[in-house]
Structure 1
Amino acid sequence: MNTSPIAQAVVGGALLENAYSLDAANGREQEAYRRNLRQVVDGLEARFANCPGVSWNTPAGGFFVSVTVPFTADDDLLELSARRYRPAGVISAAGGWATLRMPTGAALSVLMIERAIALPG
């Protein structure tokens, strides 16, 4: 590997402090990702569960939730939506469906997530 000695020292120090366990070293961050992912999925459920044609995945991990909508979500519509509603996530369109790529990291606050999945109005 070609990583800097400083990066290696930081990772090594974190492992030493946590009995060589990556899970222990990253526990706080893992919980923040899980919490934010639950908030996104729960928010979609609360707002869109009864909307025909709207569905989403519930990933076991990772950063992204994909949302399918019952209309053509092309780049022009997504640009208009982004300008009007300023989503916290990144939205892309392909083949008539939209993917909301919402970062679920600890850097997002509860309020940022709520704004990203709020109904316009």
Structure 2
Amino acid sequence: MTERKESARIKDAEQRRILDEAARRRRQRKALEALEQDNFQEDPHADLKMSKKAPKFEESMDTQTSQPSSRKKKKYRSDHLKYRFKKSFAALIEEEHMTNKDPPNYVSACAKPSKLPPRHFCAVCGYPFA
């Protein structure tokens, strides 16, 4: 009539076995043999046809090696340096504190305590507690 569904977690727990040392070695040896077999298979990409749209990696390597070894200056955009030398928030705060010690600064700025009592809100619905 109706089939009961079984928990996948319970199935997985039942299938797990505690292996002895010999069984572990056998499994490890089989895995290593499978990896070794992969090394001696034919290349699956050997019969691919070249397309005009495909990148030509060989040409770029040949052009670099055929040219004399003259170093070209790399061009950096200004935003590249912004991302490369990005500082953490804590580092920025510390740097600001070291350069600008007289108040007001980020470390010394604070608000006066509130004259009103604190309000508590429900985390689920957002309405204030009574």
Q: Could you state the TM-score of these two structures normalised by the residue count of structure 1?
A: 0.25
Higher relative contact order (CA 8 A, sep 6+): 1
- Structure with bigger gyration radius: 2
Q: Which has the higher helix share?
A: 1
Q: Which has the higher strand share?
A: 1
Q: Could you state the TM-score of these two structures normalised by the residue count of structure 2?
A: 0.23
